[in-house]
Structure 1
């Protein structure tokens, strides 16, 4: 798998990364052996970029990352985790999406300097590792003032110490990410943006992507399948219904994909990578088979005429020649 550079961070990552939220029981239980086997299969496929967070399964994702990655050459992969939530008894920032959360433990939002340092140390212990390569401030819009001052100061200090190599945001809101890049006293090295530059949502193109490209900040694409609808060439049972406008766009995407014999999930995976600010995308998977199928999408040939047809239909932003 092709290796790419994360801009100003200096990190080299695989063009495809594996997000570890699903393996922590997001929406459905994933047995421990299956989770480890999925990470093992990703490694066999050449994936060397892994993204986790304390809140994913309330520590379970980080623990499983450690099980699968410990013992592998440390300089051969890039590992990300996040700060902004502490896991502790009685934590009230609960999310119902986790199928097997530990009893009595929950997240508590806290972007203070002390909480970030504590969160980082606790992540190291859960994973069983001595450094994190890329550390995200998670959901900074929930307390922008503290996240952009105290949390950012903690990350800068950790980077200066050498215990992280790059600092980033992990966020779902393109406008907040752009504001952070404009206003923060230290510019992040990267931004992981979920679901805001996909075949169904281009909101990151309005301000975030041009600004990031100008500043040399790499954008890590995530949520490329938009929560499910773009992951299947035809509707599948279990996906939540799209709003009418998005559903109509999806129908148009399917029609044009059929006309050009393009597999829509492959186009969804490759589309973010056509932007110069996005060198890599992160996807989730629950099984070795799922990550095998998604990794194969990178090799699907998509003719330039297909992208031009999407542009002419107003389905993707116009791209420079």
Structure 2
């Protein structure tokens, strides 16, 4: 898999990366997540599975791995894998995120799985936790799910601390986005500067065949030198064969027709759409097992074409509808 710089940085990444949201905790909102675990949701089994997926990812050339403090034990699993496989600081490129606290205590039916707190004190404490686990492997440190409403991009003390971390530890600083106003949040982030220099080196955003509202802003961010990482490319499983919702039957048929024409699975089709965009640096696979990752990787061989573009253009949902539906997805 050909490596390229993340934006205008020296950090090398692969076109497909591995996101660990579904690998580090027993509960998640992806369709069929509980089936993926197949009753093996204890810590030991989940770490073994995470390591198997990481091993396959490495073998297949994936060189960007993305974790977060709120992904259960994802950082710990990744840390143990890096040490046990003697990975150098140079490879793979590792990103993590702060801003949410994991609160489910390894339960699937928890009242709250994660709690958001975009405060300076929380940044300080979670940085120390991530740094202790990942050490000098940590290349990219991101605000988790930044929004205008959270006030994180207006907190001068917090932003100054991120700028200090950037230059003291030689890391990249990024942010992930969420909600219907991703584009507006990104515009504000791009304008954030210290000593005349941009604070943010990269952005991670939700973008897929159903939710395309941030595409123009992401393209402009790429032109400005920011690295662009795409998350939720499969819309938490909605863009896979697992989506049997009768209300999605028309969209499923369109997806299936194009997938068959291009000789790939629906998941690979959805990933290939994003890989075709010149402003995208990394598309994250959220694979929960090796079979999913192998299927996702088929996207690299899909010959995306104008016919697919035209046929799938009608799948787009309004940001309000997309994010409203996402809120209804059950932790499983």
Do both share a fold (TM > 0.5)? yes
Deviation (angstroms), 1:182: 4.9
The residue aligned with 1:43 is 58
Report SS of the residue matched to 1:277.
coil
Name the CA distance, whole Å, in 2 between partners of 1:95 and 1:79: 25
Q: Is the 8 A contact 2:273 2:304 kept in 1?
A: no
Name the CA distance, whole Å, in 1 between partners of 2:107 and 2:175: 22
Alignment of 1:238-277 (within 5 A): 239=243, 241=245, 244=247, 247-259=249-261, 261-277=263-279
Q: Is the 8 A contact 1:137 1:151 kept in 2?
A: no
User: Which runs of no fewer than 5 residues in structure 1 stay unpaired?
Assistant: 88-93, 317-321
Report SS of the residue matched to 1:286.
coil
Report SS of the residue matched to 1:124.
helix
Name the CA distance, whole Å, in 1 between partners of 2:106 and 2:258: 34
Q: Which has the higher contact order (CA 8 A, sep 6+)?
A: 2
**Quick check: 1:231 aligned with 2:219?**
no
Report SS of the residue matched to 2:159.
helix
The residue aligned with 1:199 is 209
Q: Is the 8 A contact 2:65 2:94 kept in 1?
A: yes
The residue aligned with 2:75 is 62
Q: Is the 8 A contact 2:146 2:178 kept in 1?
A: no
Name the CA distance, whole Å, in 1 between partners of 2:257 and 2:221: 33
The residue aligned with 2:91 is 76
Deviation (angstroms), 1:214: 3.4
Report SS of the residue matched to 1:38.
helix
Q: Is the 8 A contact 2:89 2:136 kept in 1?
A: no
1:210-259 per-residue CA deviation (whole Å, 9 max, x = no partner) reads 43133222221111111112222xxx3xx4738x4x65334333334445
1:42-92 per-residue CA deviation (whole Å, 9 max, x = no partner) reads 1111111100001112xx1111011111221111211111112356xxxxx
Name the CA distance, whole Å, in 2 between partners of 1:162 and 1:225: 34
Name the CA distance, whole Å, in 2 between partners of 1:184 and 1:128: 27
1:255-293 per-residue CA deviation (whole Å, 9 max, x = no partner) reads 344455554322211111222221210111222232222
Q: Is the 8 A contact 1:137 1:147 kept in 2?
A: no
User: Which runs of no fewer than 5 residues in structure 2 stay unpaired?
Assistant: 29-33, 35-40, 317-332
Q: Is the 8 A contact 1:177 1:191 kept in 2?
A: no
Name the CA distance, whole Å, in 2 between partners of 1:282 and 1:303: 18
Q: Is the 8 A contact 1:137 1:170 kept in 2?
A: yes
- Specify whether residues 270 and 209 from structure 1 end up closer, same or farther in structure 2 by C-alpha distance, changes over 3 A only: same
Name the CA distance, whole Å, in 2 between partners of 1:230 and 1:86: 28
Name the CA distance, whole Å, in 1 between partners of 2:299 and 2:170: 34
Name the CA distance, whole Å, in 2 between partners of 1:182 and 1:78: 23
Name the CA distance, whole Å, in 1 between partners of 2:104 and 2:249: 27
1:139-195 per-residue CA deviation (whole Å, 9 max, x = no partner) reads 22275423443333222111111242x11111223234334335433441111112x
Report SS of the residue matched to 1:135.
strand
Q: Is the 8 A contact 1:267 1:302 kept in 2?
A: no
Q: Is the 8 A contact 2:268 2:295 kept in 1?
A: no
Deviation (angstroms), 1:307: 3.1
TM-score (norm 2): 0.77
1:96-139 per-residue CA deviation (whole Å, 9 max, x = no partner) reads 996398xxx985543333331221111122x2523520011012
Q: Is the 8 A contact 1:140 1:169 kept in 2?
A: yes
**Quick check: 1:112 aligned with 2:112?**
no
The residue aligned with 2:37 is none
The residue aligned with 1:26 is 27
- Report how many aligned residue pairs link the two structures: 292
**Quick check: 1:212 aligned with 2:221?**
yes
Name the CA distance, whole Å, in 2 between partners of 1:211 and 1:107: 32
Deviation (angstroms), 1:308: 4.7
